[in-house]
Amino acid sequence: GVGPSDASPDEGVVEDLPLIDEKAVQQLTEGLISHYLPDLQRSKSALQELTQNQVVLLETLEQEISKFKECNSILDINALFSEAKHYHNKLVNIRNEMMMLHEKTSKLKVSGINT
Protein backbone atom coordinates (compact mmCIF):
# COMPACT_ATOMS: atom_id res chain seq x y z
CA GLY A 1 0.00 0.00 0.00
CA VAL A 2 0.75 3.58 -0.10
CA GLY A 3 2.38 4.78 3.14
CA PRO A 4 3.01 8.22 4.50
CA SER A 5 6.50 8.19 2.98
CA ASP A 6 5.03 7.87 -0.52
CA ALA A 7 3.12 11.17 -0.20
CA SER A 8 4.38 14.16 -2.18
CA PRO A 9 6.67 16.45 -0.13
CA ASP A 10 4.52 19.48 -1.09
CA GLU A 11 1.24 17.87 -0.12
CA GLY A 12 1.03 19.00 3.51
CA VAL A 13 2.75 22.36 2.89
CA VAL A 14 0.20 23.54 0.34
CA GLU A 15 -2.53 23.43 2.96
CA ASP A 16 -0.36 25.33 5.49
CA LEU A 17 0.75 28.07 3.04
CA PRO A 18 -2.08 30.57 3.74
CA LEU A 19 -1.36 30.30 7.48
CA ILE A 20 2.40 30.58 7.00
CA ASP A 21 1.98 33.43 4.52
CA GLU A 22 -0.28 35.39 6.84
CA LYS A 23 2.05 34.95 9.78
CA ALA A 24 5.12 35.69 7.67
CA VAL A 25 3.50 38.79 6.17
CA GLN A 26 2.56 40.00 9.65
CA GLN A 27 6.06 39.40 10.98
CA LEU A 28 7.70 41.00 7.94
CA THR A 29 5.35 43.98 8.20
CA GLU A 30 6.09 44.44 11.89
CA GLY A 31 9.82 44.07 11.20
CA LEU A 32 9.66 46.58 8.37
CA ILE A 33 7.63 49.04 10.44
CA SER A 34 9.87 48.68 13.47
CA HIS A 35 12.90 49.23 11.23
CA TYR A 36 11.64 52.34 9.43
CA LEU A 37 9.16 53.85 11.91
CA PRO A 38 11.72 55.50 14.25
CA ASP A 39 13.43 57.20 11.30
CA LEU A 40 10.09 58.29 9.89
CA GLN A 41 8.99 59.66 13.27
CA ARG A 42 12.28 61.56 13.60
CA SER A 43 11.81 62.90 10.08
CA LYS A 44 8.24 63.90 10.91
CA SER A 45 9.28 65.81 14.03
CA ALA A 46 12.18 67.42 12.14
CA LEU A 47 9.78 68.53 9.39
CA GLN A 48 7.33 69.89 11.95
CA GLU A 49 10.12 71.87 13.62
CA LEU A 50 11.27 73.12 10.23
CA THR A 51 7.74 74.21 9.36
CA GLN A 52 7.38 76.05 12.68
CA ASN A 53 10.74 77.76 12.10
CA GLN A 54 9.63 78.79 8.61
CA VAL A 55 6.43 80.30 10.03
CA VAL A 56 8.48 82.28 12.58
CA LEU A 57 10.89 83.35 9.84
CA LEU A 58 8.03 84.49 7.60
CA GLU A 59 6.48 86.51 10.43
CA THR A 60 9.86 88.12 11.17
CA LEU A 61 10.34 88.95 7.49
CA GLU A 62 6.89 90.53 7.33
CA GLN A 63 7.74 92.68 10.35
CA GLU A 64 11.04 93.76 8.75
CA ILE A 65 9.28 94.57 5.47
CA SER A 66 6.74 96.72 7.31
CA LYS A 67 9.64 98.52 9.07
CA PHE A 68 11.23 99.24 5.68
CA LYS A 69 7.88 100.53 4.39
CA GLU A 70 7.65 102.83 7.41
CA CYS A 71 11.21 104.04 6.77
CA ASN A 72 10.36 104.78 3.15
CA SER A 73 7.26 106.73 4.13
CA ILE A 74 9.34 108.68 6.70
CA LEU A 75 11.91 109.46 3.99
CA ASP A 76 9.08 110.62 1.71
CA ILE A 77 7.74 112.87 4.48
CA ASN A 78 11.25 114.26 5.09
CA ALA A 79 11.63 114.99 1.38
CA LEU A 80 8.24 116.70 1.40
CA PHE A 81 9.23 118.87 4.39
CA SER A 82 12.55 119.89 2.83
CA GLU A 83 10.74 120.74 -0.40
CA ALA A 84 8.19 122.78 1.54
CA LYS A 85 11.03 124.59 3.34
CA HIS A 86 12.70 125.34 -0.01
CA TYR A 87 9.49 126.84 -1.44
CA HIS A 88 8.85 128.75 1.78
CA ASN A 89 12.33 130.33 1.45
CA LYS A 90 11.53 131.24 -2.15
CA LEU A 91 8.28 132.89 -1.05
CA VAL A 92 10.08 134.85 1.71
CA ASN A 93 12.65 136.06 -0.84
CA ILE A 94 9.91 137.08 -3.30
CA ARG A 95 8.06 138.94 -0.52
CA ASN A 96 11.29 140.75 0.48
CA GLU A 97 11.93 141.71 -3.13
CA MET A 98 8.36 142.94 -3.50
CA MET A 99 8.66 145.04 -0.32
CA MET A 100 11.95 146.47 -1.56
CA LEU A 101 10.40 147.27 -4.96
CA HIS A 102 7.40 148.81 -3.21
CA GLU A 103 9.74 151.03 -1.17
CA LYS A 104 11.65 152.08 -4.31
CA THR A 105 8.46 152.88 -6.20
CA SER A 106 7.13 154.82 -3.22
CA LYS A 107 10.38 156.82 -3.08
CA LEU A 108 10.22 157.41 -6.82
CA LYS A 109 6.61 158.62 -6.53
CA VAL A 110 7.51 160.89 -3.62
CA SER A 111 10.56 162.27 -5.42
CA GLY A 112 8.49 162.65 -8.62
CA ILE A 113 5.88 164.70 -6.80
CA ASN A 114 8.54 166.90 -5.21
CA THR A 115 10.21 167.79 -8.50
Q: Per-residue confidence of the chain (115 residues) as pLDDT tens digits? A: 555 555 555 555 555 555 567 888 888 989 999 999 999 999 999 999 999 999 999 999 999 999 988 888 888 888 899 999 999 999 999 999 999 999 999 888 887 766 5
Give the predicted TM-score (pTM) of the model. Answer: 0.43
E strands within the chain? Answer: none
Quick one: pLDDT at residue 9?
58
Quick one: pLDDT at residue 74?
85
Quick one: pLDDT at residue 110?
80
- Using DSSP, state whether 90 is helix, strand or coil: helix
Q: How many CB atoms lie within 10 A of CB 10?
A: 9
